[in-house]
Amino acid sequence: MKIAVIGSGTVGVMSTCHFLYYLPECSVDCIYDPNKKILGIGESTNIQFPDLLYKAANYNCFLDNKELDLTFKYGVLYKNWRKEDFLSPIIPPNYAFHFNNFKLKEVIFNKLKNIYKKRFKEIFGEVKILSNTLTNVELSINNKTKTYDYVIDCRGYPEDYSDYVQSDFLPLNHALVYMIKEPGEWKFTYHQATKNGWMFGIPLQTRQGWGYLFNDRITSVEEAKKDIADIFKIKNLNEVNFNEFKFKPYHAKKFLDNRILKNGNQAIFYEPIEALSGVFYDNINRALIDFILKRKTENDVNLYLFDMAKRYENFICFVYQGGSTFNSNFWKDTIVKTKNHLKNNKEWEQTIQFINNKKNHEFSLGNSLESFPFCIKLYKQLSNNFNYKFFK
């Protein structure tokens, strides 16, 4: 079996590892343009990521942490969401980490080459999809045709959103990334509420990455920069080099089409809260394996991931609908939109019923209500910290 992964960002590396490890009869080609730039903010992972890298690439984050500028993550610190800041912990014995995504491909691919030999190959160049049938996919790579059994498309944000469902109620669409060239000394991911949205803080061994997230229909870029200057006590904004990008919250109408699977930002992007996108991307790869092993049909895979996407949206609304310590236009608008979305929402009602059902075990494997985005204990813990009244 031949599999192609298009793209070498974080999800491209994840997908390459996933199929090399879980499908020992397959070979994997990772095809990408080495000149394509990545954002390189520094990333916060979920608990599945270190497990996958250890299994597939023998990457031991305790011994090899300098290779990825890595720091350990014990949870998410919510700052300014309530009068008292609180930590949303990763439940032991699990753990996650923060890493420098500029380094990920080189470090992990070097390990994969040593482990999998001829089963793994990097191919540099431009890719075009020529055909996608029930039996295979034809790609044009540097104007040469190559045939694969399956293709995982991880090429990043789509150029055209006609095949995507866009969210009207998720509040963010703009980010300003600010780097500080000092080590991050904390062991969690900051989720710091601001008057215009919230800001993530990623600690690395050599630097800090901060992402200021807002809605540019409510807050101008200039206003956002001024708020960043106030938070970090920056005297001269002209001396700061911000990395700026816009985005839309969306998910694919169809994740699996014949033999092509969309993953990464080709599949879904809402926002970076709680690093939940990484959990979703891992589940996308698992769903394809179920399809390959004939445990799920193509329709089953798409319905399963579509359902997960709805529950992912609901979790984000669950966090936002109680607001923060700021009584600004952003938060007033966000509270109304997210509360209205959860009201009479079938999937959200199911989630509440499931969590409040005492007959359910704390960790019920295989049940999407329980396994994504959080287990019961963490839903209840967050609910208590936010002073919500959803759960018994």
- pLDDT (average), residues 296-315: 94
Contact 159, 297 (CB under 8 A): no
Tell me: do 334 and 365 sit in the same domain: yes
pLDDT given at position 371:
52
Tell me: do 18 and 118 sit in the same domain: yes
Tell me: do 96 and 223 sit in the same domain: no
Continuous segment of H or E residues that includes residue 174: strand 174-180
How much is the mean pLDDT over the chain?
92
Examine residue 38 and state whether it is found in any structural domain, yes or no.
Answer: yes
User: For residue 376, what pLDDT band results from cuts at 50, 70 and 90?
Assistant: confident
What is the total count of domains within the chain?
3
pLDDT given at position 259:
98
Contact 368, 279 (CB under 8 A): no
Tell me: do 106 and 20 sit in the same domain: yes
Examine residue 242 and state whether it is found in any structural domain, yes or no.
Answer: yes
pLDDT given at position 392:
80
Examine residue 80 and state whether it is found in any structural domain, yes or no.
Answer: no
Tell me: do 13 and 137 sit in the same domain: yes
| Dist CA 218 CA 125 (whole Å) | 41
Return phi, psi of residue 371, to 5°.
Answer: -85, -10
User: In 4-47, which residue ranges form alpha helices assigned H by DSSP?
Assistant: 10-22
Nearest alpha carbon to residue 44 among 184, 217, 218, 151? 184
The CA angle 269-181-184, to the nearest 5 degrees, is: 70
**The pLDDT of residue 367 is above 60:** no
pLDDT given at position 364:
46
Listed residues 246, 262, 295: the one ending a domain? 246
Tell me: do 221 and 182 sit in the same domain: yes
> CATH number of the domain that 136 lies in?
3.50.50.60
pLDDT given at position 38:
72
Within 10 A of 365 (CB to CB), how many other CB atoms are there?
A: 7
pLDDT given at position 379:
85
Examine residue 96 and state whether it is found in any structural domain, yes or no.
Answer: yes
Contact 32, 8 (CB under 8 A): yes
Q: Which domain holds residue 155?
A: 2-74+91-165+249-304
Tell me: do 125 and 202 sit in the same domain: no
Tell me: do 281 and 337 sit in the same domain: no
Contact 221, 175 (CB under 8 A): no
**The pLDDT of residue 27 is above 80:** yes
Tell me: do 63 and 120 sit in the same domain: yes
Listed residues 258, 276, 304: the one ending a domain? 304
User: For residue 380, what pLDDT band results from cuts at 50, 70 and 90?
Assistant: confident
- Considering Cα of 238, then 216, then 182, then 63, what sign does the dihedral take? negative
Tell me: do 159 and 296 sit in the same domain: yes
Beta bridge mates, 29: 4, 121
Examine residue 79 and state whether it is found in any structural domain, yes or no.
Answer: no
Please return the burial class of 289, using the count of CB atoms within 10 Å of its CB with bins 0-12, 13-18 and 19+.
middle
| Dist CA 383 CA 285 (whole Å) | 30
Examine residue 83 and state whether it is found in any structural domain, yes or no.
Answer: no
User: For residue 373, what pLDDT band results from cuts at 50, 70 and 90?
Assistant: low
User: For residue 369, what pLDDT band results from cuts at 50, 70 and 90?
Assistant: very low
Question: Tens digit of pLDDT for each residue in 173-231?
Answer: 999 999 999 999 999 999 999 999 999 999 999 999 999 999 999 999 999 999 999 99
pLDDT given at position 93:
83
Tell me: do 62 and 133 sit in the same domain: yes
DSSP state letter for 82: S
Tell me: do 59 and 200 sit in the same domain: no
Examine residue 81 and state whether it is found in any structural domain, yes or no.
Answer: no
Question: Tens digit of pLDDT for each residue in 35-93?
Answer: 887 766 678 998 899 999 999 999 999 999 999 999 999 999 999 999 999 999 988 88
Torsion angle (degrees, nearest 10) of CA 37, 38, 42, 45:
-150
- Considering Cα of 53, then 58, then 62, then 65, what sign does the dihedral take? negative
Question: Tens digit of pLDDT for each residue in 108-165?
Answer: 999 999 999 999 999 999 999 999 999 999 999 999 999 999 999 999 999 999 999 9
pLDDT given at position 130:
98
Per the structure block, which two tokens stand in for 230? 């106030």
The whole-model pTM stands at 0.93
